[in-house]
Structure 1
Amino acid sequence: MSPRPAHARALRLRGALSAALIALCCLFVPLGALSAWATYGLADTGRYVRTMAPLAGDPAVRDAVADTVGDEVADRIDGTQGVMGPFVRDAVRSFTQTDAFRTGWDAANRAVHDAVLHALRDDDRPRTDPVTVDLAPVTTRIKDQLADENVPLARRIPVRHTAVAVLAPGDLDRLRKGYDVLEVAALWLPIAAVAFAVAGITVATCRRRAITATALGTALGGALLAAAVAVGRRLTLSDLPASVSRPAAGAVYDALTATLRTASWLLVTLGLAVALTTWLAGRYGHRLRRPPSPGTPAPTSPQEPTRAQA
């Protein structure tokens, strides 16, 4: 057998292997970014509270909270709902513009997040129990606000320690399985992406083209991730019940996914920048290394004497 066909076959195998490794790398990059965002962003209580804190000043969120809490407090007023209802809602709307509301907003988000995270990580927790949070402190703040404004019968508002369900047992079971998968994926997917990229570039017959392909694939993965975030927003808002404020839900979704959107566009920018740099280096580097065409006299050094001068 001639060595030339064998060499060509080896080159084709190397090219196919390089393409497969680079394709896996470009697939794992957006998945790794998504997993890292969910594990180290959403699953961190302090970071979650800091992310949600600015929403206390969002008008849509304040209106939604005022309507929900106002209705809840008014429903708990026995026998006086018709009289107290307007006062309660006005007081709640005024309360949402105070520093006390921002403090309560952070405390409520921390309490809900801690409860959900503890339920996800507690393997001994019964799978039939919902995740609940006691929101009596919020009712107490509203009651004090009404009393300070001399609202009639404000002191009679009952404060009951009622467990409010934030996650149903079925939802908790699905989230627990997904959380376990994300914890593993957030660590190993980025490592695998880097390993596949290095391996794909190493075995490539033309490493410059392999680097360009990896960079373009990374940019494409970032663009697809950004598109997925946008589609997820539309689907999330379209599936909400009529009682939920869509502007408020949209503000919450945008706040939670801000880091993910930034990461996706960073992948696009980085990938395109590397691809452009590699292409320019190959184009102009090839011109600088191009040998002189046949028939062109080689330049002589000015210090070297010619035969006539000798």
Structure 2
Amino acid sequence: MSRRLRSGLAAVLITLSCLLVPFGALAAWAAYGLADTGRYVTTMAPLAADPDVRDAIAQTVGDGITHEIGHEMDARVLRGTVAPFVHDAVRSFTQTAAFRTAWDEGNRVAHDALLRALRDERDAHDRPVTVDLAPVTAQVKARLAEDHVPLATRIPVEHTEVALLPAQQVGRLRKGFDVLEVAGFWLPVSAVAFAVAGIALAVHRRRALTATALGTALGGALLALALAVGRSLTLADLPDEVSQPAAGAVYDALTATLRATSWLLVALGLTVAALTWLSRRTVRARGPRPRSRPLLRLPLRLGRRRRAEPVPPDAPTPPQAPQPPRVRA
């Protein structure tokens, strides 16, 4: 294989590796981070103490409770006395340990329901994904009854279901989820394989290693930029009734691992590129290595040096061999 062909193939492989780095990190995060119920619940657990999230939950749940009570109560009494008490009671409930337990359990139930719908291929008829929040509402109802809120005992909690995913989107998301699970493993493996093959095939391996490291750092930087742009677009598309600070806190919590991975790729790529550049400068500073002389020429050179050495004047002359007498004809 010629040097030009080797360099071209190495450049193609290294370019493919650098392109697959951000996509591989994204797919692995989605397949092994978001698709794991335990990791998801652990990621969402700190949000129970976030002020923006608690205010959004208190506002949403309080509005729902006052809406149910409003069917049997005068509107002026509801707005003037009952509604503030309901919102204060719900807000105080969000600061208790019972709320944190209900928050974790609600996230676990919702995530399990969503995963079952995405992984169950035997269901020919797609159904909407719903979750029952009756335990949470029951705890709020008990707290309101303890505070002697009017008509709190009449709040219905038997079937409080919230739709997580419409039925028309289940089949489409199921196919995408299957592709994502496959890509979450093969994309990172392919990126590493292409990088190793490109470096091994390159004519100048130091340059190839530097290019791979810089490309990896660039891929990590692009991934971090994509996360920032995705956050802005996600918050901009939210309805007016959804709290943007709470949604931003949820987005940041879900993408915390992916953001850390992106900056890790940037740091790793720049470190490898810097070490490769320093090692190259060190080799150049030492200069080229002396060429080894062939061993067969060494005795000849030694013999020439011995014949060229001057003879001292007081050294004895070696005896000469007698010459045979010449007879003239």
TM-score (norm: length of structure 2): 0.83
Cα 1:127/1:240, change in 2 over 3 Å: farther
Question: For the structure 1 residues 174 and 81, does the alpha-carbon distance in structure 2 shift closer, same or farther, using more than 3 Å as the test?
Answer: farther
Identical columns (%): 65
Q: Residues 41 and 145 from structure 1, CA distance in 2 versus in 1: closer, same or farther, beyond 3 angstroms?
A: same
The alignment status of 1:237 with 2:229, answered yes or no, reads no
Q: Is the 8 A contact 2:24 2:183 kept in 1?
A: yes
**Aligned residue in 1 for 2:302:** none
Residue 232 of structure 1, CA deviation: 0.4
After superposition, the CA RMSD in angstroms is: 1.7
SS of 1:175's partner is: helix
Structure-1 separation of matches of 2:66 and 2:150: 13
**Which residue identity lines up with residue 250 of structure 1 in the other structure?**
G
| Structure 1: gaps spanning 5 or more residues | 1-6, 293-306
With over 3 angstroms needed to count, the CA separation of the structure-2 counterparts of 1:29 and 1:17, relative to structure 1, is same
Question: Pairwise mapping of residues 1-310 of structure 1 onto structure 2 (< 5 A)?
Answer: 10-77=2-69, 78-80=71-73, 82=75, 83=78, 84-291=82-289
For 1:279, the aligned partner's letter is W
Aligned residue pairs, count: 286
Unaligned residue ranges in structure 2 (runs of 5+): 291-308, 310-329
Q: Aligned AA for 2:37?
A: T
Change (3 A) 1:165 1:123: same
For 1:132 and 1:89, locate their aligned partners in 2 and report how far apart those are by CA, in whole Å: 25
1:107-129 deviations in Å (ceiling 9; x for gaps): 11111111101101111234441
SS at the partner of 1:76? helix
Q: Is the 8 A contact 1:135 1:162 kept in 2?
A: yes
Q: Quick one: which amino acid aligns to residue 19 of structure 1?
A: A
Q: Can you list the C-alpha shifts for 1:202-249, whole angstroms capped at 9, x where unaligned? A: 110000100000000000000000000000000100011111100000
CA 112–193 in structure 1, closer or farther in 2 if over 3 Å, else same: same
Task: Work out the CA distance in 2 between the residues paired with 1:174 and 1:270.
Answer: 37
In structure 1, the residue corresponding to 2:276 is in which secondary structure?
helix
Aligned partner letter, 1:14: R
Give the alignment's TM-score, normalised by structure 1: 0.88
**1:250-299 deviations in whole A, cap 9, x for unaligned?**
0000000000000000000000000000011011112224258xxxxxxx
Superposed CA offset, 1:169-215 (max 9, x none): 23323321221111001111111111111110111000010000000
- Distance (Å, rounded) in 1 between the aligned partners of 2:101 and 2:114: 20
Which stretches of structure 1, 4 residues or longer, exceed 4 Å deviation after superposition?
A: none
Q: Distance in 1 between matches of 2:226 and 2:251?
A: 13
Quote how far apart the aligned CAs of 1:76 are.
2.0
Q: Is the 8 A contact 2:127 2:170 kept in 1?
A: no
Partner SS for 2:6: helix
| Cα distance in 1, alignment partners of residues 101 and 172 from structure 2 | 32
Contact 1:56 1:62 in 2 (8 A): yes
- Would the alpha carbon gap of residues 182 and 271 (structure 1) be closer, same or farther in structure 2, given more than 3 Å must change? same
Does the 8 Å contact 1:75/1:81 carry over to 2? no
CA contact (8 A) 1:127 1:173 kept: no
CA distance in 1, matches of 2:38, 2:212: 35
Q: Residue type of the partner of 2:122?
A: D
| Cα distance in structure 2, aligned partners of 1:81 and 1:13 | 84
